[in-house]
Structure 1
């Protein structure tokens, strides 16, 4: 994996037509890929079509991987869409993913080492990994640094960088899909909206729909991860099944201090809602 990343960095150049999707693991990447693919290709593949690619291929096989790459997109004219998630839910989701796919992650040389090293050190509980996360030890670096960099770029270059929140997308999927389509340069027409095309794409790409498809119950992606591993709960607030309120408040405080003055906030903060 590391050799492939190094080679890609020297050979891949972004161009104006390109649209890149970015996120830390388990922030809504699979869902965003499905929504973007279905929206961009709706003229070729109707969302109601029984042969739609998303009904027969995992979203990660429909939209290629450039994972863990530092791509220089500024000045290229390409567009970048970034999705973030409440760090508490993201950590819980990634923890569960790593437990299921630890062997594959280690084999391809990415996030599994985080879990593997933790286990080697005797850190086999969620609470132990939570400590690592609070220290900023996470694949890709500290969560708050990654999110903040993309947030700043979205403020500086709104026509080139679209910043999305997973929770907002769940709360208003139709509205956010329209925003997504407009950003990608393929806004929905009045006729499409009246015909219910937006809602059809939302339904096709919903967690329940994708999770229930045979292709996502069986088989593996091109990187050997089991398709089913990408679909768990997708809920807001699942962290409450893993963290105490004190743990949640501690992590919220770390993130809030790191992002203070930026204008970036997270709706799931325990100091705000719980």
Structure 2
């Protein structure tokens, strides 16, 4: 893998001060494609980004310096990120199960900030070039883990992740459910209301990889391969397996993150508490998670992160020919690499 930090130094079209893209350079780029709501995606290092997330991704690669105790939650959009944020926070920052539990008062997106969609988004301030990087996160104890989320592909972020002893947890989800969840998520955008992203178009672009942070298949396979090469570094799991074996994965995640649960009845009770507190039923009933308010940096309401959380919901929205097309790509991309998943 090439050194991405060096790439940014060598390319003069990047602004040295804030890495923002020049509008003329973006609009004239041949590697762009319209996707929904009059928006364009731009191709960078083999992956597709919105203008904002391309800028923030470059900021992340230029400046992020993971600490030894950091935990990086990586994922493709709409694959269970919010759920894992809640679980990881509960494991690393245990709290008694009462009304003042952090997850009862805060949206998981606020407890575990995302690099390119939160911390590195320009907030229009003078602090640190207008955005707030992880160095400004309050860490009371240098040994205490920071949990940071990202959708950035391993192909782009790998050198940064491997520059420290940080841990990486990666979650993926059935491609059909991933697509349907993404499609629903975007329906709450005002841009989509003006220019609908039809399901047929969504299937076509997903299969071709032209969705934010896509191609989905390349994204998943790179993190999976790294988990096979370095299981002590990367913990890879699927949404479906997490739902079926929640307690088992919470226990294994505790071990992976260096905070194992006691092999006792008390330890089992703690695991049960985490599974219950982080369940879709519990989290979706919390007032802040039902709110139509938006965060300071994300345009969609908090409630948009909780819809159904069901496995196989795609059957209610995709036609047979759409399912067949996605399965065909899945067989080629996943099964062809020995990853028997997604069909």
TM-score, normalized by the shorter chain, greater than 0.5: yes
Partner of 1:12 in structure 2? 64
Matches within 5 A, 1:98-117: 98-103=186-191
Q: Which has the higher helix share?
A: 1
In 2, Cα distance between equivalents of 1:210 and 1:83: 19
Which one of 88, 96, 108 corresponds to residue 176 of structure 2? 88
8 A Cα contact 1:58 1:221, kept in partner? no
CA shift for structure 1 position 3: 4.1
- Bigger CA drift: 139-148 or 245-254? 245-254
Aligned counterparts of 1:3 and 1:75: Cα–Cα separation in 2: 22
Q: Are the structure 2 counterparts of residues 102 and 151 from structure 1 closer, same or farther at C-alpha, using a change threshold of 3 Å?
A: farther
Decide whether aligned partners of structure 1 residues 85 and 102 sit closer, same or farther in structure 2, where only a CA change above 3 A counts: farther
C-alpha root-mean-square deviation of aligned residues, in Å? 2.0
**TM-score between both structures, scaled by the size of structure 1:** 0.85
Contact 1:19 1:80 in 2 (8 A): yes
Partner residue in 2 for 1:211 = 284
- Provide, for residues 227-273 of structure 1, a one-character-per-residue CA deviation record: whole Å limited to 9, x for no partner: 1000000000000011123321221111221124433122x51xxxx
Distance 1:146 1:6 in 2: 17
Matches within 5 A, 1:164-179: 164-179=237-252
Output aligned runs, 1:106-185, within 5 Å.
119=195, 124-185=197-258
Q: Which residue of structure 2 aligns with residue 249 of structure 1?
A: 324
Spell out the pairing of 1:36-55 with structure 2 (5 A cutoff).
Answer: 36-42=88-94, 45-46=95-96, 48-55=97-104
Partner residue of 1:63? 112
**Number of equivalent positions:** 250
Matched, 1:21 2:80: no
**Alpha carbons 2:183, 2:199 under 8 Å: kept:** yes
Of 197, 208, 220, the match for 2:294: 220
CA apart distance, 1:194: 4.9
- 1:108 corresponding residue in structure 2: none
Whether the aligned pair in 2 keeps the contact of 1:60 and 1:221 (CA below 8 Å) is no
CA distance in 2, matches of 1:242, 1:23: 23
CA 1:245/1:143 → structure 2, altered by over 3 Å: closer, same or farther?
same
Q: Which structure 1 residue ranges, 5 or more long, are not aligned?
A: 104-114, 270-274
Shift of 1:8: 3.0
2:139 matched residue in structure 1: none
- Residues in 2 aligned to 1:232 and 1:181: alpha-carbon distance in whole angstroms: 28
Tell me which residue corresponds to 2:19.
none
Give, in angstroms, the shift of residue 195 of structure 1. Answer: 5.7
Q: 1:89 to 1:102 in 2, by over 3 A?
A: farther
- Which has the higher relative contact order, 1 or 2, with Cα contacts under 8 A spaced 6 or more apart? 1
Are residues 1:231 and 2:280 paired?
no
Q: Aligned equivalents of 2:312 and 2:107: distance in 1?
A: 26
Aligned mate of 1:33, from 85, 94, 117: 85
TM-superposed CA distance for 1:193, in Å, is 4.3
TM-score, normalisation: structure 2: 0.69
Would you say the 8 A contact 1:30–1:230 is kept in 2?
yes
Question: How big is each residue's C-alpha offset from its partner over 1:7-66, in whole Å with a ceiling of 9 and x where there is no partner?
Answer: 332221112211100111110000000000011111xx22x1221111010001000111
CA distance in 2 between partners of 1:184 and 1:263 (Å): 27
